[in-house]
Chain A
């Protein structure tokens, strides 16, 4: 047994508390182009997480000191709505959202062809409406779809996905209890067509074998989510009756 205290995260039958298998993901839904004012937008539901992302630009980078003469900068603002968790979150930027904004921007910079837009800025606004562990991954997935929807050139659609360890067992896609009382968490940003990793964080300890299993689970899940993202983008343009967006 590992983890904290006596919280039991795996049932007698080997399934997790919400009935998922160890390598089973929560349900994911993706929609593209939901905000009329934005150049590109997306809505992603991952289990009980809900993220909305809006992309604006490319536009002139302001303030001028952030401009890069040879490429665009990606300005990410990750924010959790005050009502997204059971404890009210004080509105505004905090240490955690600043960190997530930074790592998300770095992950996106590795897929967006930033050198096409010198001196510009691409503004990515990620709003978490409901949170249940793994919001940074959901934010990255939403941002990728919104960027594609905005017509920003990219090498690939980056997918955010996480694995972790509970009770000495590697599991895919931690939910809230598993995240809070588990032993480790490994969120990743994966480029599904090439299998490259553009973003990786680790909270807790994993052995090499456990890490490899996590990567394997994440890769598999990334491919599944990628299909949903592609489907959302294509569906938007192939609807029979379309409608206003």
Chain B
């Protein structure tokens, strides 16, 4: 991960309070009084105070105080679109690594193929990449995946790369605007999954351009200058 710079005093790039100055907090740091506000993600109420539980930027929205963490692990939620790597195969199910703390389980019944018992490997083997959706997560972190749905499939070509969780929104842009522009400019098919994995398929030049873009996201994704740098990359590509 090489994306660790933000300048204190950077203006918030998106969110409710336009132009509000960002405040970086560390675990245990009091954010404010707990009365009248609700504690959101990354915070905890301790006595009269709301305290941060993670390193991140304070965000206040509709009376909810939360901390936008700078680094966090992927925690699957039902409905998430994820790119998984098959880790092991049983007679009637697959286990996929979804970049989270636990492997996702894809049962035969939720696969897009008609699979005979014992023939799971013929459809998807260890190391294969799948585009799946999280069907269910229970309180013990058991993850059930599904590949029944529009577009969900085994990804046979293209490349896969990873970005950190908090850069996903930067790569997508508001209402996916940035992503749409990148698709158009690179002439590639791109999927940005909820678990920080990105799948790209197209001609080699397009893929190479997208690799540069992902490198920029990893290094500068949290900087205020990110949009400018990306725009100049896109412009360069258009003129080429």
Residue of B1, B26, B29, B55 touching A245 (CB-CB under 8 A): B1
Closest to A121 in B: B101
Q: Which residues of B contact A239 (CB under 8 A)?
A: 4-5
Q: Which of A228-242 contact B (CB under 8 A)?
A: 229-230, 233-234, 236-242
Q: Which residues of A contact B7 (CB under 8 A)?
A: 238, 240
A234 to B30, CA, bound (A): 15
Q: Interface-forming stretch among A46-54, A145-153, A171-179? A: A145-153
Residue of B42, B139, B141 touching A153 (CB-CB under 8 A): B42
Does A211 belong to the interface (CB within 8 Å)? no
Q: If A153-B42, A157-B27, A233-B55 touch, does A119 touch B140 (CB 8 Å cutoff)? A: yes
Give min CB distance, B33 to chain A, whole Å: 15
Q: Which of B60-108 contact A (CB under 8 A)?
A: 69-73, 101-103
Q: Which of A183-216 contact B (CB under 8 A)?
A: 191-194
- Cβ–Cβ contact A238 & B101, under 8 A: no
- Cβ–Cβ contact A151 & B28, under 8 A: no
Flag B194-220 by CB within 8 Å of A: 1 or 0 each.
Answer: 000000000000000000000000010
- Cβ–Cβ contact B54 & A238, under 8 A: no
Q: Which residues of A contact B219 (CB under 8 A)?
A: 242, 244
On chain B, the number of residues with a Cβ less than 8 Å from chain A's Cβ atoms is 34
A58 to B101, CA, bound (A): 6
A150 to B5, CA, bound (A): 15
Give min CB distance, A170 to chain B, whole Å: 27
Q: Which residues of A contact B103 (CB under 8 A)?
A: 60
A149 to B233, CA, bound (A): 31
Does B6 belong to the interface (CB within 8 Å)? yes
Give min CB distance, A63 to chain B, whole Å: 15
Q: If A230-B29, A237-B5 touch, does A153 touch B54 (CB 8 Å cutoff)? A: yes
* Residue from A33, A39, A113, A230 having most chain B Cβ neighbours under 10 A: A230
A148 to B55, CA, bound (A): 6
A154 to B51, CA, bound (A): 10
Give min CB distance, B9 to chain A, whole Å: 9
A152 to B73, CA, bound (A): 8
- Cβ–Cβ contact A149 & B101, under 8 A: no
Does A86 belong to the interface (CB within 8 Å)? no
Does A57 belong to the interface (CB within 8 Å)? yes
Chain A at the B interface: mostly helix, strand, loop or mixed? loop
* Residue from B28, B72, B222 having most chain A Cβ neighbours under 10 A: B28
Does A156 belong to the interface (CB within 8 Å)? yes
Does A79 belong to the interface (CB within 8 Å)? no
Give min CB distance, A240 to chain B, whole Å: 6
Q: If A60-B101, A120-B101, A241-B5 touch, does A151 touch B140 (CB 8 Å cutoff)? A: no
A228 to B114, CA, bound (A): 59
A229 to B101, CA, bound (A): 27
Give min CB distance, B156 to chain A, whole Å: 28
Give min CB distance, B117 to chain A, whole Å: 26
- Cβ–Cβ contact B55 & A151, under 8 A: yes
Give min CB distance, B50 to chain A, whole Å: 13
Give min CB distance, B239 to chain A, whole Å: 28
A194 to B51, CA, bound (A): 11
Q: Which residues of B contact A243 (CB under 8 A)?
A: 2, 5
Q: Other than the known A33-B4, A151-B55, what 6 A-B pairs have Cβ atoms closer than 8 Å?
A: A118-B139, A149-B71, A156-B27, A234-B26, A236-B4, A240-B7
Among all A-B residue pairs, the 6 with the closest Cβ atoms: A242-B5, A156-B28, A153-B53, A151-B71, A154-B27, A151-B72
